[in-house]
Amino acid sequence: MEIELIDNILKAEDFVRLRIETGFAEVPLEHARRALKNGLLNVSAYYQGELIGIGRLVGDGAMYWYLQEIIVLPEYQKKGVGTKIVNHLIEYAKENSKTCKFTTIGGVSAKGKEGFYQKLGFEIISNGIKQ
Instruction: In whole angstroms, give the CA distance from residue 23 to residue 86.
Output: 20
Span 82-123, pLDDT tens digits: 999 999 999 999 888 876 667 788 777 777 777 777 787 777
Structural domain spans, the chain: 4-119
Span 29-55, pLDDT tens digits: 999 999 999 999 999 999 999 999 999
pLDDT at 131: 47
User: Does domain 4-119 fall into CATH 3.40.50.2020?
Assistant: no
Rg (alpha carbons) of the chain, rounded to whole number: 14
* 23-56 as b/e: b if 16+ CB within 10 A: eeeebeeeebbebbeebbbbbbbebeeebbbbbb
SS3 assignment, position 60: coil
Residue that wins the pLDDT comparison between 67 and 111? 67
pTM over 0.75: yes
